[in-house]
Structure 1
Amino acid sequence: MRLLQMISCIGLLLLASAANAGNASDHTNNWAVLVSTSRFWFNYRHLANVLSMYRTVKRLGIPDSQIILMLADDVACNPRNAFPGTVYNNADRALDLYSNNIEVDYRGYEVTVETFLRVLTDKVDQAITPRSKRLRTDENSNIFIYLTGHGGNEFLKFQDAEEVSAFDLADAFDQMYQTKRYKEILFMIDTCQANTMYSKFYSPNILAVGSSELDESSYSHHADSDVGVAVIDRFTYYNLEFLEKINKNSTLTMRDLFESYDPVKIHSHAGVRTDLYERDIAHVKITDFFANAQAIELDDYEDDESDV
């Protein structure tokens, strides 16, 4: 009887181990694509949103060589800025997000729908596009894609001049899948009616989250009276508040992050789409997307006595 109990326990342990293995990430590198699609002074908060996410992923180890940063870059030196050469995300101005440590890959009128989609699918002109401005991912890459700006039902504005649709984005992701440009994607968007932007996705291994439902606005968190405009959006603010607790060795999961969303605080209903994603988000570490993974290969080493 005792032998049967031991065999049963071993079997349960093996099943549990297999289940955990199925939920473990085996990606080898992390990338981030961070885009503020707005321009003009009154959209200060969108620049602060994207620079805040940029600071977070860099703090957690994703290097600039694996971050594509796209923004209008017209706020820090705007004549209305009471604090020239700076961008803040909090009214106490404790942290300048616009420092010597930022590397902008696409700025101003380079930030277009065409450029964004070409970067995702690697259809840029490789003869004239530096490696630093290309998304050089592969089938082992986890990619965090963050968008912020002004949106509507199944569209996102780019600099008040054009729009990218939910269909455009879904097709771009499918091209990425077909050409083996990612292992998993975390798509996050902070706009009005944000959740409609991931409604058309159909490619596997995409985890998507947005700030607001259809016909809902995405609201700013607070303004700085000296700056004169709102300095961050609510959805991004509360994501950052949670992510500040994270370090590279954190065991917190994506489910922990999603369960922290409080519609009372955010003033809208954040949405999460998991049906295209294969792993259980309860076992997906936040660091699988927001931190950096490095592939390490160990070679057998034998002392060569002839060299001694």
Structure 2
Amino acid sequence: MLYRTLFAGAALINAVGAWTPPKEVEEAAKASHWAVLIAGSSGYGNYRHQADVCHAYQIMIKNGIDPDKIITLAVDDVANDDMNPFPGKLFNKPTGDGTPGTDVYAGCKIDYSGSMVTPETFVKVLTGDAAGLDGGKVLQSTKLDRVFVNFVDHGGVNIIGFPRTTMHARDLVAALTKMHSAGMYRELVFYLEACESGSMFTELPSDISVYATTAANAHESSWGTYCMPEDKVEGKHIGSCLGDLYSVTWMEDTDNQSPAAASETIETQTERVKRLVTKSHVQVFGDTTISSELITNFEGDTDSAGQLDTSLAPMIARAAPQRDAAIRSNDAALASAYFRFTEMGSAAAGEELVALVQARLSTRKTFEAVAQRLGLNGGIEALPPRAHGAQHVDCHYDVHKAYKSACGELHPEALSFSATMADLCAQQGGSPDAIVKAISAACAA
């Protein structure tokens, strides 16, 4: 690390005469690195999310972050699912016949699992609030520390998913702002994998030292990868996508830079991921000056100043390879259930498939009823498309809250209808009042 050289120089000078170390050297000696990793989904059809997060955990460990300063949230119901052909193991990449895969679940320490994977737990972890967590870990970072956050799950316009509920963009940005006000980091990098994830940071302030990238823009799906039929490990079908395209891309890039990753900056990694993720549009938000730092300042324990390695330009500019076995994230669980039912003979997967389709159709029926009460004779298909980006966030926040109150939680496989809420807000000129009334009436009928 850069500052180890400075410490060595300090020791030499000190041997000759009195020397006072620069303030930045003293601060570097006290600084720590923290990581918060979360897979917000549940179920075997979402295998990829927990595999992604355990892969991220392995990267943090390999690059030197203290395990006590890595906080991981995952339902942890996939590795030992009855459908898993490798009980107690997870893989984030396929291998050929006879070639063992890399088990990313081995040693992956999950701090909050099952019903503890909620927006409330996530916010408490981020803001250092240990109340009600039964002694569980929370960030204890300071204004000298760097924090890396990686969230992987389903999403929709202005929301990200959890097993039984959702989190609104307004609440996520509020948590990050609270962290900044409390002096909980020097800089924070946030990698977010979810459909329409570009909508989550449209209100992120640029002056709170947060750099965020997302798997997609505000109006498109992210993508699962290493999906059927390329979901094989040692010749066996897993029966679910092994990873997510954005997540796999940044992690494989980091893996390829190990052990030193001495010259790759956040900017370089972001540009690589943008070029290689061709099925969605990776977005950047927040304080872009952070992008000049090395990836291992956040995905590891270095404290070095970075510089864009221009020798990487040919790789950045090179056309991205297409992954044929990629599936839209909002359809990946459906595809998994269908494959396991038709190709692996699982009756349980057949029931799962029916339930997922019914949940999506039921949600659509509700929004058709809302549209009818708003006088849209053509239903939700008659709604004019929004302009690019997430608009009328205040209206969407109120409508989302009203829907949860009157109709219950959006099903995890129906989060795409959050875009319909945004479309309704646009159609109503940003006023939530008529929409809230229509939702209450539709769900009371």
TM-score, normalized by the shorter chain, greater than 0.5: yes
Partner of 1:230: 241
Q: CA RMSD in A?
A: 2.0
Partner of 2:152: 148
Contact 2:254 2:261 in 1 (8 A): no
Aligned counterparts of 2:120 and 2:210: Cα–Cα separation in 1: 22
Question: Are 2:135 and 1:129 aligned?
Answer: yes
Question: In the superposition, relative to structure 1, how do residues 168 and 228 fare at CA in structure 2: closer, same or farther (>3 Å)?
Answer: same
Aligned counterparts of 1:104 and 1:128: Cα–Cα separation in 2: 15
Alignment of 1:136-175 (within 5 A): 136-159=140-163, 161-175=164-178
Calculate the TM-score normalised by the size of structure 1. Answer: 0.81
Aligned counterparts of 2:134 and 2:165: Cα–Cα separation in 1: 25
Aligned counterparts of 1:280 and 1:259: Cα–Cα separation in 2: 14
Partner of 1:217: 221
Question: Are 2:259 and 1:256 aligned?
Answer: no
Aligned counterparts of 2:153 and 2:47: Cα–Cα separation in 1: 10
Contact 1:147 1:190 in 2 (8 A): yes
Contact 1:29 1:293 in 2 (8 A): no
Question: Are 2:294 and 1:290 aligned?
Answer: no
Q: Work out which of the residue numbers 237, 242, 267 in structure 1 matches 2:279.
A: 267
Q: Work out which of the residue numbers 29, 35, 38 in structure 2 matches 1:35.
A: 38
Amino acid at match of 1:74: D
Residue 82 of structure 1 deviates from its aligned partner by 1.1
Q: Which runs of 5+ in 2 are unaligned?
A: 1-23, 304-445
Contact 1:235 1:266 in 2 (8 A): no
The percentage of counterpart residues that share the same residue type is 27
Contact 1:61 1:248 in 2 (8 A): no
Determine helix, strand or coil for the equivalent of 2:253: helix
User: C-alpha deviations, 1:201-243, integer Å up to 9, x for none?
Assistant: 1251000100101221111111215111110011111111210
Aligned counterparts of 1:66 and 1:280: Cα–Cα separation in 2: 21
Alignment of 1:1-308 (within 5 A): 28-92=31-95, 93-99=100-106, 101-125=107-131, 128-130=134-136, 133-159=137-163, 161-202=164-205, 204-223=208-227, 224-225=231-232, 226-244=237-255, 245-248=257-260, 250-262=262-274, 265-274=277-286, 276-277=287-288, 279=289, 281=291, 283-293=292-302
Question: In the superposition, relative to structure 1, how do residues 191 and 260 fare at CA in structure 2: closer, same or farther (>3 Å)?
Answer: same
Residue 264 of structure 1 deviates from its aligned partner by 6.0
Determine helix, strand or coil for the equivalent of 2:150: strand
Tell me which protein shows more helix as a share of its residues.
Answer: 2
Q: Which runs of 5+ in 1 are unaligned?
A: 1-21, 295-308
Aligned counterparts of 1:205 and 1:280: Cα–Cα separation in 2: 8
Amino acid at match of 1:284: E
Tell me which protein shows more strand as a share of its residues.
Answer: 1
Residue 266 of structure 1 deviates from its aligned partner by 3.8
Contact 2:117 2:162 in 1 (8 A): yes
Question: In the superposition, relative to structure 1, how do residues 197 and 115 fare at CA in structure 2: closer, same or farther (>3 Å)?
Answer: same
Residue 128 of structure 1 deviates from its aligned partner by 3.8
Determine helix, strand or coil for the equivalent of 1:198: coil
- The number of residues matched between the two structures is 264
Determine helix, strand or coil for the equivalent of 1:290: coil
Contact 1:62 1:292 in 2 (8 A): yes
Residue 181 of structure 1 deviates from its aligned partner by 0.8
